[in-house]
Chain A
């Protein structure tokens, strides 16, 4: 029986890599099953289960929160999301990050005080040099 190579990866790491007789995935337009020599396909995935039928030890299940699947005749790559996604959720997360910025930088000026920054950096490196010299002497 022919098999196809399956890689399930997420940004945070590799989840599964191995051979399979068949792969089932929750595609955006409905569940799909991929057998070896499937036509090249690229589609989004919904949250759900990816089922990998391995030739040796039966079915393996992976829960994913969404992502993409890339299919080539003898290879399947699942690019899994590591986080729950959705326009509303993303929007809420974005608002949160903005809120954090406002809270953390309350009262700070909108303009970066570049002159002061450069002066401070010059001072810091002068201090560093002086410290190095003293260390060399002692």
Chain B
């Protein structure tokens, strides 16, 4: 059995680990709220822009933007959003698992895949496994910034416009709740879900300056950008939620280990005392008996 001193040192080291994991848990918990607020904040923009697009496509039946049309799929693009840091449970692994399943499916159909990666974890993963990666962005930080994402987005949008890829997906984690995150892939291009509202069926139209086609271009680009931005913010909220849960269970586990070590320590102490007493008693008996 380990000596008392050894066990004491071990307890101390587990306790300090527990302190760290508990601090990380609390930091993550406070960041979730901020990230959620950021998710909320990006919603009005997306809604407005969606409405403008719906109206534009309604008002211009003769102009079909290439981004609105389905075409035969020969090659696809994926924008993969991962976290920059680890210690967030199975968050990234679950996303990659879903992604690999989809990539395998495309592979079987003979469709090639281009990738754009956001976050260090995705870069590491595909750095190891290989893949046709066109663009990467890492070190997004706590407050994702549209500025950092624009380059990567442009690379993929250009690919689509030049018909090098025929469909563009966004793979990220969806924030269901603080304890549940789901890996999810969305179709970004072609833009499909622009439904026509009844209120827009009325017969009025905007004045366009300079012209409708050019504006539609701009609006669609902004729309896709805002969706990707939202994906990144949402993934960050997921990262923090997953981190909180992972750190909480690490803290709990540390507590269990400390309990069992404490028990061991008490036993060792008890054994030492018992032994000491029996030695004294034995000694006394030997003296009086002699």
- B154 lies within 8 A of A114 (CB): no
Say if the beta carbon of A59 comes within 8 Å of chain B: no
Binary interface encoding of chain A residues 21-35 relative to chain B, with 1 for a CB under 8 A from any of its CBs, else 0 = 000000111000000
Per DSSP, chain A at the interface is mixed
Say if the beta carbon of A121 comes within 8 Å of chain B: yes
- B209 lies within 8 A of A104 (CB): no
- Please report which residues of chain B, range 71-112, place their CB below 8 angstroms from some CB of chain A when the two chains form the complex: 90, 93, 96-97, 100, 103-104, 107
Say if the beta carbon of B48 comes within 8 Å of chain A: yes
Binds A, one of B16-24, B161-169, B217-225, B262-270: B217-225
**Cβ of B61 to closest chain A Cβ, rounded Å:** 17
What residue of chain A has the Cβ atom nearest to residue B226's Cβ?
Answer: A11
Tell me whether A40 and B131 are in contact in the complex, defined as CB-CB below 8 angstroms, given that A7-B48, A12-B146, A104-B138 are known contacts. no
Number of interface residues of A (CB under 8 A): 53
CB-CB under 8 A from A77, the residues of chain B are 48
What residue of chain B has the Cβ atom nearest to residue A103's Cβ?
Answer: B136
What residue of chain B has the Cβ atom nearest to residue A73's Cβ?
Answer: B204
Per DSSP, chain B at the interface is helix
- A113 lies within 8 A of B229 (CB): no
- B206 lies within 8 A of A12 (CB): no
Binary interface encoding of chain B residues 147-173 relative to chain A, with 1 for a CB under 8 A from any of its CBs, else 0 = 100111011001000000000000000
Query: Whole-angstrom distance between the alpha carbons of A109 and B209 in the complex?
Result: 48
**Cβ of A112 to closest chain B Cβ, rounded Å:** 4
CB-CB under 8 A from B290, the residues of chain A are none
Query: Whole-angstrom distance between the alpha carbons of A27 and B46 in the complex?
Result: 21
- Residue of B103, B104, B107, B135 near A97 (CB, 8 A) is B135
Besides A11-B42, A44-B218, 16 other A-B contacts (C-beta < 8 A)? A12-B145, A40-B205, A41-B208, A42-B56, A42-B215, A70-B48, A81-B146, A82-B147, A83-B150, A97-B136, A104-B136, A108-B131, A112-B103, A112-B131, A112-B132, A114-B100
- A41 lies within 8 A of B206 (CB): yes
- Residue of A9, A96, A113, A116 near B45 (CB, 8 A) is A9
- A70 lies within 8 A of B52 (CB): yes
- Residue of A14, A29, A93 near B150 (CB, 8 A) is A93
Say if the beta carbon of A126 comes within 8 Å of chain B: no
**Cβ of B44 to closest chain A Cβ, rounded Å:** 5
- B133 lies within 8 A of A101 (CB): yes
**Cβ of B210 to closest chain A Cβ, rounded Å:** 7
Tell me whether A11 and B146 are in contact in the complex, defined as CB-CB below 8 angstroms, given that A70-B52, A121-B100 are known contacts. yes
Binary interface encoding of chain B residues 25-61 relative to chain A, with 1 for a CB under 8 A from any of its CBs, else 0 = 0000000000000100110111011001000100000
